[in-house]
Amino acid sequence: MLNSLSKSTVKGIIVVFSLIAISIPFQRRIDDIRGKFRSVEETLYLSSSGIKKLSFGYKEILADIYWMRAIQYFGERVVKTLNEGGYNQLLSVKPKSDLLYHYFDIITDLDPRFANAYRYGGTFLADPSPIGLGNIEKGTALFDKGRRNNPANYHLPLEEAFIYYLYAKDYEKAADLFKEASEKPGLSNFRRASLEGMAASAHSKGGNRELSRRIWKEIFDTTTNEGRKEFALRNLKEIDTMDIEDRLTDALREYISRYNEVPKSLEALKDAGIIKQVPKEPLGGEFIIVDKLISVRSSTLLSEQIKYNLGYLTAKAHRFKALFGRYPKDLFELRGFIERQDSEKFPPHPLGEEYIYNPEKGIVESK
């Protein structure tokens, strides 16, 4: 047995050193094309088929080498830029997203099953500056290729869904990808239900409440987990509440067009015969008139939205300080930071009012 173990160990060492020996000419060939890091740019002009010929059948090894060179090259660029010019200089550098996409395209042609190349490459391409290169089209194209080549991998549609949800704001596409992820083999019932819930939430966010309602209803009817059932019921109530908000807002505007004034309460709509009765709010609060927006809102959803916005804006103010050493001087500067750096819209106050901002503490509050 010891003899057998010794022989297998020797064989393993021989294999390792053989692979290292095989990889050396590849590495030298890549580095010698035009210098240590210029090799990455040069591969832009090489085709996958041409590189495969150089691999002598060891495509996966060459893919690994390209993977390491990509990380080394682009990491070096970021560190060098930060050292020379700091954060602002990094923002001004025009990213080479076409180059990086082509590089990962080569890697995944050499090894189509290299899931992490799709995941990390696609995410880095799509993430906004300064974290990534801000090219959603290239990032999602790489994820699409990964999904085609790895049909059983649930991470790929899941992470691409977040790109569409967070950056592209294409909630229906995100919902389709969440749903695709939920249908992959080998998932636990809890994870599958979670992914279905994400799809339902994305449909709701995109305005497709009816489809969202059907998914949450399916989860509610089929799950045996009481916590999941309660969460599904809460979401069903939220959708019902939003539908009632819309109907009451339409009724409110009809009242205003008739009488040229905003009523003091929803009872006026009932007295005018526009609605039969003032409905109860499914979440336990009440429906209120938001004068400045000429709309009717749920007090529960309104309170949650205000709380979320204040937390979001305060977090962005603190992120600003982490980058620049101070808080934004006013809301105008905070708005510019959010819209410029994160490519996101500054969230309006749900009551149509102005936020209160403390520039000394970086805290955003509501009246």
Is the pLDDT reported for residue 256 higher than 70? yes
Q: Specify the pairing of strand 363-365 against strand 356-358.
A: antiparallel
Closest CA to 298 of 367, 230, 246: 246
For the residues of 59-70, what is the DSSP string, one character each?
A: HHHHHHHHHHHH
In a domain, 21, yes or no: no
The answer for residues whose C-beta is within 8 angstroms of residue 104's C-beta and 6 or more apart is 70, 117, 118, 121, 122, 125, 142
In a domain, 76, yes or no: yes
Bond from prior residue into 130 cis (ω within 30 degrees of 0): yes
Q: What is the pLDDT of residue 52?
A: 46
One domain, residues 247 and 225: no
Angle at 230 between CA 225 and CA 234, to 5 degrees: 150
What is the distance between the alpha carbons of residues 327 and 216, in angstroms, rounded to a whole number?
41
One domain, residues 242 and 222: no
Q: Are 252 and 289 in contact (CB under 8 A)?
A: yes
Domain with 337 in it: 302-365
| CATH number (domain holding residue 64) | 1.25.40
Is the pLDDT reported for residue 349 higher than 50? yes
One domain, residues 188 and 86: yes
Q: What is the pLDDT of residue 167?
A: 81
* Chain-centroid distance, C-alpha 355: 27
Query: Per-residue pLDDT tens for 268-285?
Result: 999 999 999 999 999 999
DSSP 35: S
pLDDT-based confidence at 168, cuts 50/70/90?
Answer: confident
> Mean pLDDT throughout 332-336?
93
What count of other Cβ atoms lies within 10 Å of the Cβ of residue 336?
A: 12
In a domain, 57, yes or no: yes
Domain boundary among 256, 287, 318: 287
Collapsing DSSP to helix, strand or coil, 287 comes out as: strand
One domain, residues 157 and 246: no
Q: Which residue has the higher pLDDT, 116 or 173?
A: 173
> Mean pLDDT throughout 25-37?
44
Query: Per-residue pLDDT tens for 108-124?
Result: 887 888 888 898 888 88
> Mean pLDDT throughout 207-226?
82
One domain, residues 227 and 247: no
Number of domains in the chain: 3
Query: Per-residue pLDDT tens for 60-99?
Result: 554 455 555 555 555 555 444 444 444 444 444 444 677 7
Classify 282 in phi/psi space as left (phi over 0), alpha (psi -120 to 50) or beta: alpha
In a domain, 346, yes or no: yes
Q: Are 120 and 129 in contact (CB under 8 A)?
A: no
Average pLDDT over the chain reads 78
98-103 contact pairs (CB < 8 A, 24+): 98/44, 98/138, 99/40, 99/41, 99/44, 100/70, 100/74, 100/124, 100/125, 100/133, 100/138, 101/125, 101/135, 101/138, 101/141, 101/142, 102/43, 102/44, 103/40, 103/43, 103/44, 103/66, 103/70
One domain, residues 138 and 180: yes
In a domain, 130, yes or no: yes
One domain, residues 62 and 186: yes
One domain, residues 126 and 271: no
One domain, residues 149 and 183: yes
One domain, residues 50 and 86: yes
One domain, residues 34 and 167: yes
Classify 273 in phi/psi space as left (phi over 0), alpha (psi -120 to 50) or beta: left
Q: What is the pLDDT of residue 41?
A: 46
Cα dihedral value 26, 30, 33, 34, nearest 10: -150
> Mean pLDDT throughout 26-38?
43
One domain, residues 80 and 175: yes
The tokens describing 8, both together, are 């297998």
For the residues of 80-124, what is the DSSP string, one character each?
A: HHHHHHHHHHHHHSPP-HHHHHHHHHHHHHH-TT-HHHHHHHHHH
In a domain, 13, yes or no: no
* Chain-centroid distance, C-alpha 98: 21
pLDDT-based confidence at 342, cuts 50/70/90?
Answer: low
In a domain, 324, yes or no: yes
Q: Name the one residue in this structure whose structure tokens are 């505007």.
A: 253
Phi, psi values for residue 296, rounded to 5°: -115, 130
In a domain, 265, yes or no: yes
Q: What is the pLDDT of residue 140?
A: 94
